[in-house]
């Protein structure tokens, strides 16, 4: 009898914790003090890993790769114009790193809105990330100013504000295209052996290919060394290798142009598409930024 009572108590406690988590996410959805003339007409509705396909069938797998935990959805309507609506999705991605990662995959260049840790607001769409949350807003009409007001309203409801992933700060700022830094959970630069990491795109010079700096992140220095050897083998098969020694790889292929990769502890730092002189300058600064 005591065992049965304890079991029931355990189930109620677990259910309570789950409900609390769902309520916590739903509490981020503005429901009071809304912009004048607007009201909540649908939701909030919570989605889990099992039900996310019902909301974003074609993109659910991408969210799963970035650590999706759960999300909440709501629709707001302008009372004077019923066709004028705004859809809101708030995604709990589990960490600020994954929130930035999924944000970086949806952001489309410039268009910063000054909300959260970073935002992109343009036309009918607005996105930003803050703490472990990724937020998407979509309006039936183009109104960036209104989307920013909604974004700020949501941002105020997020209690914590963890700093952005520190690796973003490793990239030299000069020549870096605004909004180009991205985080990939796998297959960095389209190469499985590079695993997870960041890449940033720079302004090209002298007709160079679209140049990039990248940083691949590994569990330890041995894994990084193994990946560097795989990169060398890749270039041997599909390009040219000019140098491979002292944790350094230099080479070239048709798609990336000149390639310069250096191992530093559990990182591989690389430059591709720059001319030789600029490649060295960029890499020197890149290496100095990593403490």
Question: Domains in the chain, start-ordered, CATH in brackets?
Answer: 2-157 (3.40.1000), 166-289 (3.40.1000.20)
What's the token pair of residue 286? 């890149």
Question: 38-47, 85-94, 272-281: which has the highest mean pLDDT?
Answer: 85-94
CB atoms within 10 A of CB 146: 19
Strand partners, 279: none
pLDDT digit string (tens) for 184-197? Answer: 999 999 999 999 99
How far apart CA 132 and CA 54 sit, in angstroms, is 22
Q: Are 207 and 257 in contact (CB under 8 A)?
A: no
Helix/strand/coil for 256: coil
Q: Please tell me the pTM assigned to this model.
A: 0.87
- How confident is residue 291, by pLDDT bands cut at 50, 70 and 90? confident
pLDDT digit string (tens) for 53-77? Answer: 999 988 999 999 999 999 999 999 9
């Amino acid at each position: 009898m005591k065992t049965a009572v304890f079991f029931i108590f355990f189930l109620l406690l677990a259910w309570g914790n789950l409900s609390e988590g769902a309520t916590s996410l739903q509490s981020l959805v503005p429901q009071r003090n809304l912009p004048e003339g607007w009201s909540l007409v649908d939701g909030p509705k919570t989605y889990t890993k099992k039900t996310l396909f019902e909301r974003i069938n074609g993109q659910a797998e991408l969210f799963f790769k970035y650590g999706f935990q759960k999300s909440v959805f709501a629709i707001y309507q302008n009372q004077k114009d019923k066709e004028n609506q705004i859809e809101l999705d708030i995604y709990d991605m589990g960490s600020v790193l994954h929130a930035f990662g999924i944000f970086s995959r949806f952001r489309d260049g410039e268009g910063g809105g000054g909300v959260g840790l970073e935002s992109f607001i343009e036309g009918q769409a607005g996105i930003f990330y803050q703490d472990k949350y990724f937020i998407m807003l979509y309006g039936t009409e183009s109104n960036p100013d209104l989307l920013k007001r909604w974004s700020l309203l949501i941002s105020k409801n997020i209690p914590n504000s963890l700093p952005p992933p520190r690796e973003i700060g490793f990239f030299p700022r000069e020549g870096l295209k605004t909004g180009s830094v991205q985080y990939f959970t796998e297959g960095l630069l389209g190469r499985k052996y590079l695993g997870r990491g960041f890449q940033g795109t720079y302004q090209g010079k002298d007709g160079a290919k679209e140049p990039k700096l990248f940083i691949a992140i590994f569990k330890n220095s041995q894994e990084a060394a193994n990946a560097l050897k795989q990169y060398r083998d890749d270039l041997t098969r599909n390009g040219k290798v000019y140098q491979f020694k002292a944790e350094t790889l230099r080479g070239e292929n048709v798609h990336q142009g000149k390639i310069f990769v250096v191992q530093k502890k559990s990182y591989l730092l690389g430059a591709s598409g720059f001319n030789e002189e600029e490649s060295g300058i960029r890499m020197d600064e890149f290496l100095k930024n990593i403490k």
